[in-house]
């Protein structure tokens, strides 16, 4: 999906927590670095360490916020693949890709029903509010001198007070009805009760972009941070809209609309040198491996090259991947992409009556969809005339 690939390309892995991949977006790293630099000034030798501690509190608060979404998503039956932390919160990517659930053939949001979407979106802010209330109560009981209401509310000079207010600010900001914030996701879920997810998303995006423009204007005269937040909101809303529109198009496109029907195959008895020779004369990067009329595996050009370099000449059957998925010609492209994502495949063979009739690869699908869109546009223009 566009959103996932664009976000992942600008993020780095920070390990796995409870089986969920944790990724940190470069913009979030830049925010943490800015907090550390600005909050380390004027506190003497302990300044850098206190600044680092404040950064850690911000990071942990955002992470706990996102795990609130994860736990509720898992309860709703949506396995979570990864979390990408951003300056305005984070993105939780489901196992089958974002916005990938369907209900009766109609695209819906993350949880499968609008009630699930509301619960998932609301879980993050509720976690932050819960943490703030518990932490605030403990701190007031054990350390009443922290000055919970003393300004500045967030400062490295008072880490206990800062932890409480970081969580409150994070919850309050995310509850704004500004898509793609959590409040905006709740708003979209409510809109989706009476309209399809694309129109619901566009309405929520319009409201979210209104908030973004408001933040940018206020930031110009009051606080530059509001301008930066507005820019992040505006860009995030656009990415979300593009993602949902692209997903909807994919639900309507069948495999037979974009599959390659003129393609090369390999035999498990082919040598790697013969296979590479065929690959040189083909535009394909991935090949079905066929024995007689039966498909027995898939192999990539890269895998052939790696095997030749490592072990010398051998046979295709020794390097082919025997784990693969197939699709039917009338199956939606979105369904096939979910299979690709689930098993990290690069090729989906298309079959009919157990006979291989075409292939769809990551390499060709975007090109094919662009041509398909242009063809349909020309066809509509011809009908209008």
**pLDDT tens digits, one per residue of 66-92:** 889 888 888 877 777 778 887 766 676
The per-residue pLDDT for range 10-53, each reduced to its tens digit, is: 778 888 877 788 888 787 788 788 788 888 877 778 888 888 88
The per-residue pLDDT for range 326-349, each reduced to its tens digit, is: 888 888 888 877 777 666 677 888
Model confidence at 162, pLDDT cuts 50, 70, 90, reads very high
Q: Which residues contact 246 (CB under 8 A, 6 or more apart)?
A: 1, 2
Does the structure show a pLDDT above 80 at 384? no
Query: How many CA atoms, within 13 angstroms, populate the side-chain half-sphere of residue 356?
Result: 24
Strand-pairing partners, residue 85, are 24, 90
Instruction: Report pTM.
Output: 0.68
Q: Are 175 and 125 in contact (CB under 8 A)?
A: yes
The pLDDT of residue 93? 67
Looking at the structure, give the CATH architecture of the domain made up of residues 256-384: Roll (3.10)
Q: Are 360 and 255 in contact (CB under 8 A)?
A: yes
Nearest Cα residue to 319 out of 332, 329, 309: 309
User: From residue 263, how far is each of 186, 325, 330 by CA, in Å?
Assistant: 46, 18, 19
Q: Are 326 and 334 in contact (CB under 8 A)?
A: no
The per-residue pLDDT for range 150-161, each reduced to its tens digit, is: 888 888 888 999
The pLDDT of residue 370? 66
The pLDDT of residue 138? 93
Does the structure show a pLDDT above 70 at 373? no
Q: Are 50 and 112 in contact (CB under 8 A)?
A: no
How do the domains of the chain map onto residue ranges? 2-252, 256-384
Q: How many secondary structure helices (H) and strands (E) does the chain include?
A: 13, 11
């Amino acid at each position: 999906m566009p959103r996932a690939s664009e976000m992942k390309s600008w993020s780095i892995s920070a390990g796995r927590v409870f089986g969920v991949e944790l990724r940190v977006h470069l913009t979030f790293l830049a925010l943490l670095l800015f907090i550390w630099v600005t909050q380390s000034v004027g506190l003497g030798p302990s300044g850098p360490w206190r600044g680092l501690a404040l950064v850690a509190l911000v990071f942990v608060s955002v992470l706990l916020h996102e795990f609130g979404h994860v736990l509720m998503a898992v309860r709703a039956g949506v396995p979570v693949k990864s979390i990408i932390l951003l300056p305005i919160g984070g993105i939780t990517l489901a196992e089958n890709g974002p916005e990938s659930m369907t209900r009766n053939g109609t695209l819906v949001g993350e949880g499968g029903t609008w009630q699930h979407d509301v619960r998932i979106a609301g879980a993050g802010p509720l976690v932050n509010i819960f943490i703030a209330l518990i932490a605030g109560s403990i701190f007031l009981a054990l350390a009443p001198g922290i000055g919970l209401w003393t300004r500045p509310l967030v400062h490295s000079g008072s880490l206990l007070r800062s932890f409480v207010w970081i969580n409150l600010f994070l919850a309050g900001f995310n509850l704004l009805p500004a898509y793609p914030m959590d409040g905006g996701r709740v708003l979209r879920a409510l809109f989706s009760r009476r309209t399809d997810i694309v129109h619901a998303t566009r309405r929520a995006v319009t409201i979210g972009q209104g908030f973004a423009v408001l933040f940018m204007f206020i930031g110009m005269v009051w606080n530059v941070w509001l301008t930066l937040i507005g820019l992040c909101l505006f860009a995030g809303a656009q990415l979300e809209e593009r993602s949902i529109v692209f997903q909807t198009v994919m639900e309507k496109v069948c495999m037979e609309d974009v599959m390659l029907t003129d393609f090369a195959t390999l035999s498990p008895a082919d040598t790697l040198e013969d296979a590479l020779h065929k690959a040189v004369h083909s535009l394909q990067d991935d090949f079905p491996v066929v024995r007689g009329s039966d498909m027995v595996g898939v192999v990539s050009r890269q895998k052939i090259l790696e095997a030749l370099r490592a072990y010398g000449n051998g046979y295709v059957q020794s390097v082919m991947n025997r784990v693969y998925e197939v699709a039917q010609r009338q199956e939606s492209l979105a369904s096939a992409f979910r299979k690709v994502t689930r098993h990290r495949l690069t090729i989906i063979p298309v079959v009919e009556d157990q006979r291989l009739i075409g292939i769809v690869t990551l390499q060709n699908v975007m090109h094919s969809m662009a041509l398909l869109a242009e063809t349909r546009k020309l066809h509509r223009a011809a009908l209008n005339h």
